[in-house]
């Protein structure tokens, strides 16, 4: 883990201009450009970290990059650093960039993705906010947090975090017994390293699970 991704930071991205400004909590700033050089250390650390919990998002970001670059994509894809810079800028632009008081990155593997103001959103096939794509994992914005849960576990975790339903009510929603939900709760807690529902809510706060 590099020093940059252990810290809090906020991203300010202008994809059309080919750069992003990363501002850390202590005021330090770095610039990421699509030249494959400027900010490349940050780019590599950022993409490595995103791959852990948002792999489907990066697949979508690559597909969007192909659409944006057109014929030049093939050439750039063979230029490793240049390609990584372009990919990171697409990802940063789609997930972050809104000015608010919530850091885009709070610590190792802890991102707060945002509803950024994207002019492409309503025509984008990778729009994770579009209800028509509610079951689509390969989206650029509003990405699914892939933390090792099965689809059923993710659905239960989503109800545990984002509703006030009791375990009995969740069992009714899922069409199974209370004991099944209780066993699933234990597996979810074990996978995410938490011991209580409030801890789970804190760990998954703001994360899209389904």
Average pLDDT over residues 173-177: 97
> CATH number for the domain including 183?
1.10.10.10
Domain span at 21: 3-133
For the whole model, what pTM was predicted?
Answer: 0.91
- Residue-wise pLDDT for 178-207, tens only, equals 999 999 999 999 999 999 999 999 999 989
What's the pLDDT score for residue 183?
98
119 is a domain residue: yes
Among 205, 210, 178, residue whose Cα is nearest residue 194: 205
Do residue 36 and residue 127 come from a single domain?
A: yes
- Is the Cβ–Cβ distance between 173 and 165 less than 8 Å? yes
Q: What are the respective helix, strand and coil percentages of the chain, to the nearest 5?
A: 50, 10, 40
The rounded distance, in Å, linking the Cα atoms of 61 and 74 is: 15
């Amino acid at each position: 883990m590099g020093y940059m991704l252990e810290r809090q930071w906020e991203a300010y991205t202008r994809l059309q201009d080919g750069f992003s400004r990363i501002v850390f909590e202590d005021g330090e700033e770095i610039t990421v450009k699509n030249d494959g050089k400027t900010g490349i250390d940050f780019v590599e650390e950022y993409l490595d970290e995103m791959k852990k919990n948002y792999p489907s998002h990066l697949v979508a970001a690559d597909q969007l990059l192909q659409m944006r670059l057109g014929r030049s994509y093939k050439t750039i894809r063979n230029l490793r650093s240049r390609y990584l810079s372009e990919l990171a800028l697409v990802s940063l632009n789609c997930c972050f960039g809104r000015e608010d008081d919530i850091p885009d990155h709070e610590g190792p593997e802890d991102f707060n993705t945002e509803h950024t103001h994207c002019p492409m959103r309503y025509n984008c096939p990778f729009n994770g906010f579009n209800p028509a794509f509610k079951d689509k994992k390969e989206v650029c914005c509003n990405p699914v947090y892939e933390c090792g849960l099965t689809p059923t576990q993710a659905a239960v975790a989503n109800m545990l975090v984002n509703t006030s339903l009791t375990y009995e009510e969740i069992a009714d929603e899922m069409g199974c017994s209370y004991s099944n939900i209780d066993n699933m709760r234990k597996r979810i807690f074990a996978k995410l390293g938490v011991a209580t529902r409030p801890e789970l809510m804190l760990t998954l706060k703001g994360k899209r699970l389904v």
